[in-house]
Chain A
């Protein structure tokens, strides 16, 4: 009885949490009329619909007209025209789900946006690791003058959300003429105090003997960072990757600021936002298809590797 109540509460919560996902997916399958009237159930009737823009684009030219006349000389011009018109509408008719998902890619350069998202997200992650790992190693395993001060600086930087200093960063990039470039999308995120902190905490647990043995073998400090420390830090690295990649694939604030107008540099969220801004009601379906395409990679990754994700998040909380 009590257990049943718990499940009811959890299911109700789940219903609210999932509602927007269901609406997004459902709208991405339906025709404009079904969305507007709220009919068609979850999947829509999938009755073929005519893409008016496709019809308008494929007006027959004189050559096509002449060819049609030659093919059926017994018909009047009007009859030929109306038959061509029917053919065209037929060629331009498709199921709503096909319409929505093709439109998502043709109405805007979505493929380009996705590629940009991938480039930016991966560049940020790789640079963050390249910068943070050696610093974390130095803080955890080397003795030097000013180490405590350096670590205090990291802790202080942990308090500063990069978004909070967006305005001066933007001004700086603008002065350097870097706005509207990949560099502008990546540079502000190259340093992650969180990454340094997480790795440093992790390295503190790695036995000194391991480092000393590597030094005995004649390894240099750089080699130790990448060939000895890096492999031990894989769990922390995965946790950090989850944070970093999720944050930057989904980020909208920063691209909004530094990319103005140049569609070739849009990241997925920015592309979706522009889509929405320009959409009249008839493009709700394609817009939701775009949203689905953008949301799905991370959701899929999460569902496939749930344990890793949840452990990663929990790991960061423990430190």
Chain B
């Protein structure tokens, strides 16, 4: 560096970014925090301070309890499943001699595709009577002995026992290809010599080699994948809006937070509640991200 004082220039270059960060990210957070303590609604002339009433509602009302359970379930299922499948696909693809490029592009297609459109397709496929899924199941059941299949095919989206799992499935279907690509990049960075060294040290089985060499070497990738996948899972909206709008599914079993913010805060104009959910949402996402980063830093070597 030649000069040490670039204050003026830096300010000029960075000013638009700084101003926009403030206006679009920081200020809205403050606004959400403040609004969450009020009963504000868009177009209303007065605004009342209600203290923690909105938060009390979220933790005391069964609707919001269902929202928290649905969101927790969704994240807890989709994150490990799409990471596991992403890693599994990457390991398999890396180990085959032929067709690797083909599998890679196939698994990546859902990541590029418009989720909204694909959700509508899944909805048609899962239609209880004319959907491809139940039709295929019926065809398979036709050749199986009696009693091997239930008398009635599942309703899928209309059944509270299936709705959330189907939504999780679509989430995994859509996202694991992204993780696969990151893991493939990670795998290409693991040095061949490490495997040789591990073998000399007695790591004979494929599992031992994975546990002792591959998995530790993939740690940075895993942390990154974990963070992006969790943040995305939290933000799931399109599937719920298409499949379960309005209301959030049979007995609100798929009432995910992002959808709740939209329905309460914007559609029903209950800004106070919507803002309180927003604050909880932000706290969860940020806490999770920071936590995962901390873990990564502590165990890094």
Contact = CB atoms under 8 A, between A and B. Distances in A.
Main secondary structure of the interface of B (DSSP, over half): helix
Contacts of B25: 157, 160, 162, 165, 191, 193
B21 A159 contact: no
Interface of A: 3, 6-7, 9-10, 13-14, 16-21, 23-24, 27, 35-36, 38, 130-132, 134-135, 137-139, 142-145, 147, 150, 153-154, 157, 159-172, 174, 187-188, 190-191, 193, 196, 208, 212, 215, 221-222, 225, 246, 249-250, 252-253, 256-257, 268-269, 272-273, 276, 284, 287-288, 291, 294-295, 298-299, 302-303, 306, 309-310, 313-314, 317-318
B13 A317 contact: no
Per DSSP, chain A at the interface is helix
Question: How many B residues are at the interface, by size bracket?
Answer: 35 or more
B92 A138 contact: no
Contacts of A154: 21
Given A135-B18, A159-B289, A317-B224, A269 B9 contact: no
User: Lowest 7 A-B CB distances belong to which pairs?
Assistant: A314-B185, A135-B17, A168-B28, A191-B20, A142-B6, A134-B13, A165-B28
B136 to A, nearest CB: 10
Interface in B122-178: 122, 124-125, 130, 132, 135, 173, 177-178
Given A13-B89, A23-B132, A253 B97 contact: no
Contacts, number: 270
> Which residue, B6, B274, B286, has most C-beta atoms of chain A within 10 A?
B6
A241 B16 CA distance: 20
B114 A13 contact: no
A142 B9 contact: yes
B75 interface: no
A317 B237 contact: no
Interface of B: 1-7, 9-14, 16-18, 20-21, 24-29, 31-32, 35, 42, 85, 89, 92-93, 95-97, 99, 101, 103-118, 120-122, 124-125, 130, 132, 135, 173, 177-178, 181-182, 184-186, 221, 224-225, 231, 234-235, 237-238, 241-242, 258, 261-262, 265-266, 271, 274-275, 278, 281-282, 285-286, 289-290
B282 A160 contact: yes
B13 A221 contact: yes
Given A187-B24, A193-B21, A314-B182, A276 B120 contact: yes
Given A135-B16, A157-B21, A10 B181 contact: no
A247 to B, nearest CB: 11
Given A167-B271, A291-B117, A191 B181 contact: no
A70 B147 CA distance: 71
B215 to A, nearest CB: 17
A167 B278 contact: yes
